[in-house]
Amino acid sequence: MLDTSCIRAAMALSLLLFASVAAAARPAPAASEPTDEQTAAQLRDEALAGENLAWDWVSELTTRFGPRPAGSDNEHRAAEWAAERLKALGFANVHIESFPITAWVRGVESAQIVAPVPQPLVVAALGESPPTPPTGLEGEVVIFPTLADLKAAPAGSLDGKIAFVAARMVRMQDGAGYGAAVEARVDGPAEAAKRGAIAFVLRSVGTDSNRIAHTGTTAYVDGRVPVPAFALAAPDADQIERLAALGGKVRIHLYSSASYVPDAHSQNVIADVPGRVHPEQVVLLGAHLDSWDQGTGAVDDGTGTAIVTAAAKLILDLPQRGPRRTVRVVLFGSEEVAQPVAPFGAFGGHAYADSHKAELAHHVLAAESDFGTDRVYSLELPAAVVKSEFATTAMRVLQPIGVLAAAEPARQSGTDVRPTNEAGVPPFALLQDGTHYFDVHHTADDTLDKVDREQLDQNVAAWAALVWLAADSDVDFRGQEAPH
C-alpha cells in the first residue's frame, strides 16, 4: 500500500539517487585539485610567458617549406612534417587524410601600360586564372568604380576590352572591409567575360599602399575561369585611374603563363588530445597549412596552425589531468583555392565534414584561427551559452589579457570549419585585431618577420584557456540535449 509518507520517502530517495548520479558524473575537485578556472588561468599564464611552441612552429614551417600552395609538393611535405611533429609531441590519433583537387600553378606574369605612355605595372594573377595567349593580351581599359557598376554594363559593351574594378577596400579592425571588397575578385572575371571583356583586373583587395599585388582565389563558372584575371598593386591602380581622368584611352598589356594540375591532391592533418571521460565528444580547433605562393604564408595561416597546435599542446601537457572531452587539432589543406566543381573554396573543410559526417553529432564546438597574428580582443560564443556561467567564467579568465565579450553570438569562425558548423556544430570565435592584416594578406610580403611574438603568445593564451574550459565541461553549446 502506498500512502503519502511512502511517496515522500520515495521522492527523497530518488532525489538522493539523482544527486549521487550527478555527483558521479561530475565529481567536485578534490581540495588539492585546481578548479577549471584555475587551470584555465594557469594555461593562459604559461602561454603568455612564452612557454609554448607557437613561435618555433611557425618559424620552422615557413622556413623549411616556404610557400605552400594547395596541391604542391611543399604543401604535401609540410603536412608530413606536421604529422611527424604532432606524433613526437605526444598527440594521439595523428594521421593524414588526402583528397583530390585541381591545383593551380602561377607562371611568369607581367603587365604594362602601353598607351598613352609606356610604363610597367605590378600585378599578380588571381588564383585559378587561366593563362593569356603566349604573346599576351592587349586592350583598352574600361574603369568601373565597383563590381555593381560592372554588373550594370550592357552585354557586348566590353567586346575586346579589359574590365577594371577600382574599388578600395576599407581598413577596419574586424576586417569587415574584406567581405565587401572581395566579391569583385571572386565574381569579377565572369561578369567581365559575360559582357565581352578579354581580361579582368582589379585594385588589389588590401589596405596597404605598396607596389605589391594581392592575389586570391576567383570563381570557376561551369568548370572554368572564363578570362585571365589580375590584381594590380594599389599605386598602379591609382596610376591608371589618374591617367584616365586626364582624358584619352588607357591601353594595357597583360601576360601570364599560369597552368592547372587537374589530378593533384591535398590533405588534412589530424591530431587529438583524447578526452578522459567522453573521448567521442570533440572540440575542434582548425587552421590551414596551405598558403598563397608568393610569400611564405606566415600570417595566412602559419600562425593559425601554430596557435591552435600550441594551445592543444599546453592542454596535453597539463600535469594534473587531461580534459573530459577530446581536443582535436585539424590542420586543413587547400583552403585558399576554388575548385572547378562546387563547393566554392575550403576544399579541406568540406573533405573533413564529409569524411567525419557520422561523428559530427558528437562534435561540441568547431572554431578556427585564420586571421593573422595580431591580438585577440573579443570572444564570440554560441548563442546557447552567451548568458551562462560558462561565459562568465571564460570572461574572468580572458579579460586580464584584453579580451572582451562580444555583443553578438558567434555565427561563424573560419572558412575551413564552416562546413562543420553548417552541419550543426556550434562555432566560437576569438576575434583578432585585423587593422593591419590586409596590408600583407595574400602578398609576397606575408613572411615571418611580420609576426609579433608577444601577440602570438596572447593568441595561444586565449585559445588554451577557452578550449580547456569547453573541453573539460559538460556544457551543451547547441542549447539542446547533449549527445552521450
Minimum CB distance to Zn ion, residue 168 (Å): 22
Minimum CB distance to Zn ion, residue 336 (Å): 7
36, 109, 187, 300: which one binds Zn ion (CB under 5 A): 300
Whether the CB-CB separation of 425 and 275 falls below 8 Å is answered with no
Task: Tell me the number of residues near Zn ion by CB under 5 A.
Answer: 3
Distance, CA of 250 to CA of 242 (rounded, Å): 10
> SS3 for 331?
strand
Stretch that binds Zn ion, among 98-106, 300-308, 385-393, 463-471 (CB under 5 A): 300-308
Stretch that binds Zn ion, among 37-45, 354-362, 367-375, 392-400 (CB under 5 A): 367-375
Instruction: Tell me the Ramachandran region of residue 339: left when phi exceeds 0, alpha when psi lies from -120 to 50, beta otherwise.
Output: beta
Give the Cβ contact number of residue 388 at 10 Å.
16
Minimum CB distance to Zn ion, residue 218 (Å): 16
Whether the CB-CB separation of 202 and 167 falls below 8 Å is answered with yes
> SS3 for 110?
strand
Q: Which is nearer to Zn ion, 256 or 415 (CB)?
A: 415
Sequence-separated (6 or more) residues with CB below 8 Å from residue 185 = 126, 202, 205, 216, 217, 218, 231
Q: Which is nearer to Zn ion, 370 or 374 (CB)?
A: 370
> SS3 for 354?
helix
Minimum CB distance to Zn ion, residue 300 (Å): 4
Sequence-separated (6 or more) residues with CB below 8 Å from residue 469 = 36, 37, 40, 390, 393, 394, 397
Q: Which is nearer to Zn ion, 228 or 304 (CB)?
A: 304
Distance, CA of 273 to CA of 275 (rounded, Å): 7
Query: Is residue 370 at the binding interface for Zn ion, with CB under 5 A as the rule?
Result: yes
Choose, from 128, 138, 335, 368, the residue flagged as catalytic: 335
Tell me, yes or no, if 422 is annotated catalytic.
Answer: no
Q: Which is nearer to Zn ion, 293 or 300 (CB)?
A: 300
Instruction: Name residue, grid cell 579579460.
Output: 399
Stretch that binds Zn ion, among 16-24, 132-140, 278-286, 298-306 (CB under 5 A): 298-306
Minimum CB distance to Zn ion, residue 310 (Å): 18
Q: Which is nearer to Zn ion, 346 or 364 (CB)?
A: 346
Instruction: Tell me the Ramachandran region of residue 183: left when phi exceeds 0, alpha when psi lies from -120 to 50, beta otherwise.
Output: alpha
Sequence-separated (6 or more) residues with CB below 8 Å from residue 340 = 102, 220, 223, 224
Q: Which is nearer to Zn ion, 191 or 368 (CB)?
A: 368
Residues 301-320 interacting with Zn ion (rule: CB under 5 A): 301
Stretch that binds Zn ion, among 84-92, 161-169, 189-197, 294-302 (CB under 5 A): 294-302
Q: Which is nearer to Zn ion, 44 or 214 (CB)?
A: 214
Whether the CB-CB separation of 322 and 315 falls below 8 Å is answered with yes
Q: Which is nearer to Zn ion, 143 or 186 (CB)?
A: 186
Q: C-alpha distances in angstroms, 59 versus 14, 290, 456?
A: 58, 15, 12
Minimum CB distance to Zn ion, residue 466 (Å): 21
Distance, CA of 357 to CA of 468 (rounded, Å): 24
Burial class (CB in 10 A: 0-12, 13-18, 19+), 384: middle
Minimum CB distance to Zn ion, residue 134 (Å): 33
Minimum CB distance to Zn ion, residue 335 (Å): 6
Stretch that binds Zn ion, among 98-106, 112-120, 182-190, 363-371 (CB under 5 A): 363-371
Instruction: Name residue, grid cell 538522493.
Output: 16
Residues 198-257 interacting with Zn ion (rule: CB under 5 A): none
Catalytic residues: 335
Binding residues (CB under 5 A) for Zn ion: these are 300-301, 370
